[in-house]
Chain A
Amino acid sequence: MSAPTGGNAATTPRLRPDERVPSRIVLALQGVTKSYPNGKVALKGVDLTIPDGDFVFLVGPSGAGKSTVIKLLIREEVPTKGSVLLDGRDLAKIKKREVPKIRRKIGVVFQDFKLLPNKTVRDNIGFALEVTGARRSAIEPAVDRALKIVGLTGHADHLPGQLSGGEQQRTAIARALVHNPRLFIADEPTGNLDPVISWEIIQLLLRINEMGVTVLMATHNAEVVTAVRKRVVALEEGRIVRDELGAAYHRED
């Protein structure tokens, strides 16, 4: 398994210092099959285990089932067969009103950022805490910390429309971090960004991983995947066709 800590771990603040049990499983898919009401079978008997602190690239062509995996993880969908375990809990069996609590353990960012255009960077990030019932006095320090991690402290009072694409994605990342998530999911986070900016976003995700957060990133970006040499899980037509440590985007034979 890939090591959760890099060389500069000692200088990087950890978000969850108490949860460094190396072999703990954050996430497990066990024999997951997912078919949609329209008859399309998106996943066929997928098994996947992600230990605490891992950094995983989920790759594969469009329609391979990457988005479905992510929907299952944030419990937007439940599997037709098999189970999805987050911290050992079967997501299909939790009560409906517990779903929001599960989502607070997971930070998600998407290709399209999903920011509220009429709120400042600070308010977009604080929104995640505000709507989950955080005390108002707790919001500002948490937002400041998230801003610092993504390097947007100087842009706190800008509106999303005044930011570059990279800055917007960093705002979304800060919002996803503000709950101190256990698992960070990035769905094509660099899909709308140019290569230089994409690289900055990857560096940021790697740094978040070094802080002790498990990261799962679905991507098409072969260059980045190959350069970073992390764990690569490849999906094709709903099946895992490859699961390698320190791998490239494409199979290297």
Chain B
Amino acid sequence: MFAFVGFSLRRGWQGFWRHKLTSLAATATMVLMLVLLSGLVILLNGLDATLNYVQQEVQVVAYLRDSAGTQDVSRLEAALQEMPAVQDVKYVSKDQAYSDFLARHPEDADVIRSLPSNPLPASLQINLRDPNQYLEVATYLRADNAVDRVLNIQQTVDQMVSVIGILRSGGIVVLLVVLFIIMNTIRIAVVSRADEIEIMRLVGASDAFIRWPFVIEGAIVGLLGALLTIGLLLAAQSPVNDFLKGYFTVFPITGELIVRNIALLVLGTGLGIGVLGSYLSVRSCLSR
């Protein structure tokens, strides 16, 4: 048993290095797939987090002109609360908006403090009973002089949900295609050594002795691919974070937990595909 394990490890290692070209081709495809996989997971995670954040907020925001007075605010509040579509209304003053912004973007505090006056508008934040009745509320608000602009958060949310859906299914298709390419690359690497397998069979090698060196070789491809991918991701982490921060306002991959989870996902997927790909390829050579 010990001899068998030693044999498999030794031969697997030799097999990887004696067929550098095919091994490296398989490793490169592996890296491509793992980068795509982790990129997709990170992106979807980011979008989900953003979506959650946005959904906690109100559904309709009406920004008020600076000219609007307290009587305008109470008039609008009263009218809105009369409407059956509206669940609740909350008034956010200019001062409140200013301190909310400072709390959310402390790194931009210097910029906003340097401005001569508070540029943020006061707003009414409205939750609807039924998001579909948005138009009725928005039309009413847009007709009012005190209202500058109406934002439909729900619309943004809907757009995000569909973007996430497209990304998820598109990503899965791309991953399946790349998975197929990896399996094929591994298969070619194994089949190109059909002579070796034939000789092993002729001299009476058992299936395990034929199979395991190839499985170990696949594991080396998977492991190396995973380590390279993790290296790439770590190198790309801070520029990507900066980009996401700018783009989504929330930044999901700085957390240690998610970095660890992605690393585990990459390692597990790489090893799994390497091992499974070799196993299946050798099996097709053995079952003749």
Contacts and interface: CB of A to CB of B under 8 A. Distances in A.
B116 interface: no
Contact of B3 (A74, A116, A135): A135
B90 interface: no
A104 interface: yes
Category for how many chain B residues contact A:
10 to 19
Interface in A112-144: 114, 116, 118, 127-128, 130-133, 135-136
B204 A101 contact: yes
Nearest to B209: A131
B195 A104 contact: no
5 contacts: A100-B205, A103-B202, A108-B202, A118-B18, A131-B7
B18 A179 contact: no
Which of B4, B196, B199, B201 has the largest number of chain A CB atoms within 10 A? B199
B207 A175 contact: no
Interface residues of A, number: 22
A176 B202 CA distance: 9
Interface in B126-173: none
B204 A114 contact: no
A95 to B, nearest CB: 12
B250 to A, nearest CB: 55
A97 interface: yes
B203 interface: yes
A129 to B, nearest CB: 8
Nearest to B198: A114
Interface in B161-215: 195-196, 198-207, 209-210
Given A131-B200, A133-B4, A135-B3, A100 B206 contact: yes
Contacts of B210: 131
A130 B7 contact: yes
A134 to B, nearest CB: 9
Majority secondary structure of chain B interface residues (helix, strand, loop or mixed)? helix
B279 to A, nearest CB: 17
A192 B131 CA distance: 84
Nearest to B196: A116
Nearest to B203: A128
Given A97-B207, A116-B196, A103 B3 contact: no
Contact of A114 (B18, B195, B206, B209): B195
B25 to A, nearest CB: 19
A175 B201 CA distance: 13
Closest 3 CB pairs of A and B: A103-B204, A104-B204, A128-B203
Contact of B203 (A97, A103, A118): A103
Contacts of A102: 204
Q: Which of B3, B4, B205, B210 has the most CB of A within 10 A?
A: B205
A116 B202 contact: no
A128 B18 CA distance: 19
Interface string A218-248: 0000000000000000000000000000000
A132 B206 contact: yes
B7 A127 contact: no
A102 B203 CA distance: 10
A116 B204 contact: no
Contacts of A131: 7, 200, 203, 205, 209-210
A136 B3 CA distance: 9
B214 to A, nearest CB: 12
Nearest to B4: A133
A108 B204 CA distance: 11
A133 B202 contact: no
